[in-house]
Structure 1
């Protein structure tokens, strides 16, 4: 499919709304752009231009939602080991940054790309993390490169390291796929439980993923979801099963 800014913004919004619907994200943390898009005062446009991002890439970032990243907020995962990047000036990675302070740096130096390389101007990542899947969007090609930890093509050009760890896929099809993974509990978002922070895990991964998946089903997911009862159950049980699993490992 050809690149479609508004369709990408809708898909990302729908993905975040699904995480809200699964009793994971609080709806208040979704920051939605104004109709005209984020302004230069809100979006770190000067930094993005210093990083040689194209007008089209910046335009995409003007029109997508972000997850609020105040100091008091959870450091939400939106995919396994993967956190969202906020390109707003108060986002985790850009807070206090200016064009001058970023002079001579690449996106990788700000944790905004998986490899230390020169990325085409139309490329931008929506996610980051030490063991993350970077959702690298190529606005010129209309493709998503979900760049993970593992090499899948060791013949990729050295100048394009992202191709070693990901195949380019249609952006909207990728969002459809990860949306389906959540809806069908292939991936499950686990809310905070005691000192265990919220994160997204495979639904068949014991003990955490299997517990959350079971509790979602027991509480009517997706057609008759009993949100409050589910939240009470998962918050009471998730810490317990993780701690028991770790204690068992320590005893073995």
Structure 2
């Protein structure tokens, strides 16, 4: 069942957890005045949706057309902005995008005030709830309805927990594009997501159990295996940097951010070196 106040509070808790990460400044989170925002930039929605948008907290970019990040290739929408967010696919009057994808692997979050749900709409078909043949036969503008749907509060509470437990992490992007942040996950599977989220206490991550597992080496060719190990090591370094700076109770956000930026710049340079070795002709052109 939909409740405006429950929805507002669930989104607020989620955004408050997001800005704890060494990515966005605290000032990015903006709260509505007591009577709600004076105006919101959207058309074609019913009064229930408009009432919700007038009372939501938002993550507001500091610069025009700056793309923030709340999940893999997924950006939040701030309806108090002058920028018009075109709907990827037209939605019914009782539905609204809370977030939209910036690429085909991103996830658009669609809130339905009639049903009190959030739908995870991803073009890769990750969350579809019907056989693929039936899904492909749907009209393009109807496909979002066939994706996984959850009650609003349950969905947002799960995402909040994943950031709280550092299953998911958001850190600054040194180059600032296509989004200002980068997303990392410690989990490779849905089952691992659940296990890590339920852990009572964050503890240092030892890589040996996952990256040296013989099944991975059997299933992947050598180049893929080495790439996988490199990525996992980097995610572990990001995670351990959080812990070293006192997450969660004594977290030094500014120092952690500074160290993570250096870590990302080093990782980018190493990745560029690997690509240059694989394709020396392209490296010569870039120089």
What band does the TM-score fall into relative to the shorter chain?
A: 0.7 to 0.9
Choose from 160, 168, 178 the match for 2:142.
160
1:70-120 Cα deviation digits (max 9, x unpaired): 436852111111111111142x435xxxxxxxxxxxxxxx1x33x3x4x22
Change (3 A) 1:17 1:126: same
Distance in 1 (alpha carbons) for counterparts of 2:60 and 2:176: 21
Cα distance in 2 for residues equivalent to 1:175 and 1:136: 12
Which residue of structure 2 lines up, in the alignment, with residue 66 of structure 1? 58
Alignment pair present for 1:180 and 2:161: yes
Count the aligned residue pairs.
Answer: 223
Residues 162 and 219 of structure 1: is their aligned pair in 2 closer, same or farther, counting only changes over 3 Å?
same
- CA RMSD for the aligned pairs? 2.3
In the alignment, which residue of structure 1 is the partner of 2:172?
191
Q: Determine whether 1:125 maps to 2:97.
A: yes
In 2, are the aligned partners of 1:207 and 1:242 still within 8 Å (CA)?
Answer: no
Q: Unaligned regions of 5+ residues in structure 1, if any?
A: 95-109
Q: Residue by residue, what CA displacement relative to the aligned partner does 1:118-145 show, whole Å, maximum 9, x if unpaired?
A: x221000011133221110000000100
Structure 2-normalised TM-score? 0.70
Q: What SS is found at the alignment partner of 1:160?
A: helix
**What are the within-5 Å matches in structure 2 for residues 1-252 of structure 1?**
2-40=1-39, 43-44=40-41, 47-48=42-43, 52-71=44-63, 74-90=66-82, 92-93=83-84, 110=86, 112-113=87-88, 115=89, 117=90, 119-131=91-103, 132-151=106-125, 152=128, 153=130, 154=132, 155=134, 158=139, 160-164=142-146, 166-193=147-174, 197-203=180-186, 206=232, 208-252=234-278
Q: Distance in 2 between matches of 1:208 and 1:149?
A: 27
| Alpha-carbon distance in structure 2 between the residues aligned to 1:127 and 1:143 | 14
1:68 deviation in Å? 1.8
TM-score (ref. length: structure 1): 0.79
Structure that is richer in helix per residue: 2
Secondary structure of 1:13's counterpart equals helix
Q: CA deviation at 1:54?
A: 0.9
Unaligned runs of 5+ in 2: 188-230, 279-287
Rg larger in 1 or in 2? Answer: 2
Give the drift of 1:207: 5.8
